[in-house]
Each structure stands twice: as structure tokens, then as C-alpha cells.
Structure 1
């Protein structure tokens, strides 16, 4: 990891590795608890993804889960203990950061994050999926918002985003009934990009078909200009969040046009085309 300007912040909840050039892999790592998240783990992830956005050599990230779950949501035992302290009048810090559940469900960020959903994505895990840039899932993966069954609400950002992604009727069905849907249904609904075969029970994370598919997507992304990836993603996020295509287009041009024109990668891409050779991208300075 000596190639980094600064070392990644330490993690106790997740395992972080760099399995391919310019790619960060984050494994949610509480398999016995179905990778349910603690509040401290969420703040660790917020620091990690802030570091990722600011590390010039990294261009794409992947998140997946250890064991048989992607993420089953919040650690309910910790949540119950926090509720008890509040009931006694004790001051409690927010259980999740401003960037949402797992630092991802409300993240805008600068660089793309891909989900490789290997199993259950329930509650907060589903809220993460609803806000990521690309999602691939193993065939046996399941997606659900079961919060209403526990007297709580999915308030980490997924409800309005799902209404836009899969439509009001389907989002309402998920949120109000708590039903789970399969990976094939999620793809049919437009929630995910692709479905892969399941992994063997003893397969290492990097040998899982869903992680291999995510790494292939990441490789396709990092082959392109890192400036173009950052700015293209910003345009998509702006249109998705704001809802106005014209306003998002105007902001994209005003905020990013000069930086793109002045950057080395735009000139390298055009020159490489003229010289009939592969472009030699440099790390983004955006």
C-alpha cells in the first residue's frame, strides 16, 4: 500500500484490499451477525470512503459481504441498547453518519462504488444497494426493507430513491409489506445491473462469480479517463437527485466544464485517437 499518498484509515468492521490496479475492495466482515453494522463501523466506513475519494490512484470501489449475507442492516442489539440509554435521558450520538447507512446510502461522493451482492441485502443493506452506482447480485441474493415488521422505518435514504428507480407501486410494496424479492426480480425491476451464478459454499471472496463480475465492471471503468468517469458520474447523480435534466446539465457544464478542458486526460484522449494508440491516462486531479 506504499503507492498511496496516505494510508487508508483502520477498519474493525470491514476488510479492505486492492485486488486490481486502481480498485478498492471492501468486505463487510461480521459473517456470524449477517454483517449487521455497528455505529462505530459506519463511521469507520465514512472515513474510508472519504479517503478513497481523495486518493488519486484509486478510481473504482467494490463492496461485498463475508459469509452468506451482503448486509442484514443495523445491529439491533446495539440499537436496543441505544434506545434504552435515550429513555434514561442520556445523550446519544447519531448511530449513522451524514452519508447514511454504512456511509453509502446517502453518499454523493466523487468516484463510483459497485455492489457485489452475495446474499441477503435487508434493511440498511438494501438502503446501501439503492444508492450505489452499479449492482451485480448472485442468483440466490434477496433484497428487502423489513423495517415495518420491527416498528421502524427505512429512513437512511432508500425510500425516495427507490420510488425513482423501481417506481412508486413496487417501492410501496417493498416498504409497506416488508416482502423480499429475488435477484431476478430485482433485475427485472431495474434495481440491479446483472445476476451471476452462486458461489460454492467454500469459495474465497475473490473466487465468487459475483465478485468477479464486479471486478470486470471495475476494470472497464478504470480503463477509461478518470476525469471523464468522475464528471460523467456527477452528471448522472445530479439528474437523479435533482430531477431536472436541464438544471443538472447546466450545473455539470458550469461546475466541471473548465476543469475537464484544462485537464491532461482530455488532451491525451484526443491525441491518442489521432495517433491511433491506447491513451495513457494520468491520475485525476479533480
Structure 2
């Protein structure tokens, strides 16, 4: 396992079977995010998108905690864990082309929860907790909490989390469709990696197009959404990978994708 960039050990990344596992590695600080963590997370996400041998990513935290959010001690010294154009942790406002899965153990609070919401899929241990305590500190969850949570949960469930500052359990998240997979404590990373491998077996152009269409059509009416979808997916249907998928099906073999 190696570091993403900069100061060693703050963010680790490990690759296996085409999956890049990105680990926030500040367990003594509950994986709180300072500026250096944000820089290194951004670099790790760029590695995921830029390496053609990588098909999907998993984001997690070391030491049984996903992330307690912003490092308040660093913030008090004038550090910001937000990168221009990229958001909290170098992630919450970044367009990540490849699938990214959150593997959550323990707490995901504030910006930590916002990084989870920036992922495409969520695997959580049954004792994981998600929360936005910002209102208890005179703040608001402005890096995705206010925008994304009401789109992922029923309105009144999301508002309870946002207005009370009280956490949501992993079981509640699963019940309401926020969490894809619920695992025993300690098993979230393994299940997330397996899920990432399953996702990564599919055609890379198709995966990227799915993400782009979903991202760009959510606020459009149906006719506008179809029009934008057709613009974004025309290249997929004309791609070599589309032909390979059909040939592989006819030949009863696994397809070999080339991303073109």
C-alpha cells in the first residue's frame, strides 16, 4: 500500500483486480480531514480516473472510522479542507468519471458523510453511523449535505438528520435506500471491494456514460432528459466495446474491453 502524494501516510492507496482502494489514514484523529488530506484525496481520485488499468474505486477510513469530517484544530489554525473547484476533501464537487464506492465503518460525520454522498454506492457496517452535526456548531452541511441528502432519502427523514444533528443508523440508511449493502462490523471494505470488482467487469465507456447521464439529467424534464441522454450515449452505441459486447455474447465468452 502506498501514499497518494505529499506527506507520507495521510492517504493510502492500494490496487488489486483493477480496483483502487483509497484509505484516509489518520485513525488517531478519527480520519478528520485537513488540507493535506484533501490534496492527497484529490490526487488519489485523479489516479483512479487517469489510469486505464483501474476500473473502480473504494473510499474508506483506517481504524474502524470512516471520517469525523473537518479537522477543527486545523481549521482553527486557518486551514481549509476544501479545494477550489473540487470541494471538501478534494471530492465533494469533483466529477469522478469512474465508479466510486464508500466502505463505511464507524462514524461518517459532517464532511465525512458528504464524501460518502459523493460516492456512487455505499457499503456500511451494521454499527456505522451517519450524521450532520453542523447545526449544533452554528454551521450548515454546505458540501453536499443540504443538496444531496434530500435527494437520497425521503424528505422528512433527511430533514430530521439535517435539523436535529442526530445521526442516522446504517440500518435506517439501508431501509430508506441510502445504503446498498449492510455488513457485519469490520466487513464493509471486503464487501465494497467485491462490489467494485463486479462493477468493474462491465464496459468502461458504458459505466462512464451511465454516471454522466444520471448526473446531468436529474433536474431536466423527461423530454429534455432523453435529448441529453441521446447526446451523451451516441458514442457508446458506436464504440468498439459495443461490438465486442455483442460478439462476446454470441461466442459465449467474457468480453475484453478496450475503452473505445
Q: 2:199 aligns with which of 211, 221, 229?
A: 221
**Cα deviation 1:88-128 (Å, max 9, x = unaligned):** xxxx8x54012221222223221110000011001111111
Q: 175-184 or 47-56, which moves further after superposition?
A: 47-56
Seen in structure 2, the aligned counterparts of structure 1 residues 137 and 243 have a Cα distance that, compared at 3 Å, is farther
Q: Deviations over 1:160-213 (max 9, x none)?
A: 2111110321221111110012110111122111110012xxxxxxxxx21111
CA deviation after TM superposition for structure 1 residue 243, in Å: 4.6
Offset from partner CA, 1:235-273 (integer Å, 9 cap, x none): 222233x3544433322321331x213422111001111
How far did residue 9 of structure 1 move? Answer: 4.4
2:225 paired residue among 248, 272, 275: 248
Indicate conservation of the 8 Å contact 1:105/1:158, yes or no: no
Partner of 1:63: 59
Return the TM-score normalized by structure 2. 0.92
Q: 1:269 aligns with which of 245, 256, 259?
A: 245
Matched, 1:278 2:257: no
Q: Any conservation in 2 of the 1:115–1:132 contact (CA below 8 Å)?
A: yes
2:162 is the alignment partner of 1:175 = yes
C-alpha displacement of 1:279 = 1.2
Partner of 2:49: 53
Distance 1:239 1:270, change over 3 A: same
Which position in structure 1 is the counterpart of 2:127?
140
Contact 1:100–1:157 under 8 Å retained in 2: no
1:8 is displaced (CA, Å) by 6.0
Q: Distance in 2 between matches of 1:11 and 1:264?
A: 41
Bigger CA radius of gyration: 1
Structure 1 position 10, deviation (Å): 4.9
Shift of 1:21: 1.8
Contact in 2 for aligned 1:104/1:132 (Cα 8 Å)? no
How far, CA to CA, are the matches of 1:255 and 1:27 in structure 2? Answer: 32
Does structure 1 retain, via aligned residues, the 8 Å contact 2:22–2:57?
yes
Residue matched to 1:15:
12
CA RMSD of the aligned region, Å?
Answer: 2.0
CA 1:169 to 1:57, structure 2 compared with 1: closer, same or farther past 3 Å? same
Gapped regions of structure 2 (runs ≥ 5) = none
Partner of 2:190: 212
Give the secondary-structure state (helix, strand or coil) at the position aligned to 2:157.
helix
Give the 5 Å matches for 1:37-52: 37-52=33-48
Three-state SS of the structure 2 residue aligned to 1:70 is coil
Aligned counterparts of 1:8 and 1:267: Cα–Cα separation in 2? 36
Q: SS state of the match for residue 114, structure 2?
A: helix
Any stretches of 5+ residues in structure 1 without a counterpart?
2-6, 83-91, 200-208
Distance 1:264 1:157, change over 3 A: same
Q: For each residue in 1:28-78, what CA deviation from the matched residue of structure 2 results, as whole angstroms up to 9, or x when unmatched?
A: 100000000011211221222123212111110001110121000000011
Deviation of 1:157 (Å): 1.7
Contact 1:9 1:51 in 2 (8 A): no
Alpha-carbon separation, structure 2, partners of 1:81 and 1:244: 46
